[in-house]
Chain A
Amino acid sequence: MNHPHLSDRMPDVARGGAGWTAAETAHLESCPECGHEWQLIRAVADSGGAAEPLDLDRIAAGVIAATIGPDGATVPIPIHRRHWLRYSLVGLAAAAALVVVLRLTSEPGHEPGSGSDQIAIGILPELDQLTAAELNGVLTEYDDASALDQPLGEIPRLGELTDDELGELLSEVGG
């Protein structure tokens, strides 16, 4: 493929959605490789046959009738989508709880392990890409609650959080 730009445009031109410039036409006639490719694309595009005649108004009416509720409103989000939203919120809450941006104290004579000690948590993985089990595994690694100003307390299994428990966790994280 010597001319990717030409190659990319061939399907659109073959379907009649675009045209060749004079220079492009001349090139297709003189370049064997591009010419063969153009013949192939044109043949495949032409093999599709005529467009299907459709009664678009009938299709649209049927779709609208099937997806409109008794009160005229659109059908609400399916149940499986609500579960996805819940897990997303749980993941975000866990991320908020973990991403405690701390600063290292730079005071002279600072003793490690003192009550005012703060730990810089390094770059955490993108928590929203972790599954609930993986998030739980990350959370269990932070079992040294004394290193934090406010202990997080017992971390429940994320997948078992109810909406009320989630609300409590969000409140706790929010401080």
Chain B
Amino acid sequence: MLSTDAELVEGWQHGDQAAASALVHRHAPALARYIRSRGVASADIEDFVQEVFIKAFRGLGDWRGEHEGSMRGWLFRIAANHLKDAFRRSGRVREVDLNDDDRIDPTDPQTALEARETAKMLAERLDLLSPMQHEVFRLRVEDGLAYREIAVALETTAGAARVHYHNAVQRLLEVLE
């Protein structure tokens, strides 16, 4: 049976490096997808993920592990703050990877073009949402976070996250009609 996040954290706090590694293996892929989708260049993803985990591990005293799912939400919160700091230091509102093509199959240009157009259209529609709706929607759909994890990431409640999500869906459906 897999250990829970709380058990792994406790193990790491008692010096179990395998527990620390397990936490990284468990949550790093989701963090990487999130960071990538928020505009960090592919070449910087691994370092960025590592910095988020270092911050998290140094602040484990602040993690309230009373329920599962909160570790991922907490990591996403740290990542979001780290993103803001990084973009602020770089003087950019959002760091855009000009080489977005590495995400699309170069052997099928037609599909690549359609995919790029769809992504562009979706990005424009998402910009019509309120900041909270935007973030909740993307965390739910793109990053696969559960409402309770979104609640921890955005320092709100699971119920509020659910409301924001459904409001976002309704808004998007309205503008797409």
What is A's interface to B at a CB cutoff of 8 Å?
A: 1, 4, 7-8, 10-12, 14-15, 17, 33, 36-37, 40-41, 43-45, 47-52, 54-64, 66-68, 72-75, 77-78, 81
* A47 in complex: contacting residue of B54, B61, B115, B137, CB < 8 Å: B115
Contact B140 A60 (CB under 8 A): no
B42 within 8 A of A: yes
Contact B49 A7 (CB under 8 A): no
Cβ–Cβ < 8 Å partners of A45 in chain B: 141-142
Contact A17 B15 (CB under 8 A): no
Contacts A43-B118, A45-B142: A59 and B50 contacting too (C-beta < 8 A)? yes
Contact B28 A81 (CB under 8 A): no
| Chain B residue at minimal CB-CB distance from A44 | B141
Contact A37 B173 (CB under 8 A): yes
Question: Total contacts A to B, CB within 8 angstroms?
Answer: 116
Total count of chain B residues near the partner, CB < 8 A: 47
For chain A, what secondary structure do more than half of its interface residues adopt (helix, strand, loop), or is it mixed? helix
For chain B, what secondary structure do more than half of its interface residues adopt (helix, strand, loop), or is it mixed? helix
B162 within 8 A of A: yes
* B141 in complex: contacting residue of A41, A55, A62, A75, CB < 8 Å: A41
Contact A56 B141 (CB under 8 A): no
CB-defined A-B contacts under 8 Å, sample of 7: A1-B169, A14-B141, A40-B176, A44-B122, A48-B37, A60-B24, A64-B20
CA distance A66 to B20 in the complex (A): 12
| Chain A residue at minimal CB-CB distance from B21 | A60
Contact B122 A63 (CB under 8 A): no
Contact A56 B28 (CB under 8 A): yes
Cβ–Cβ < 8 Å partners of A72 in chain B: 15
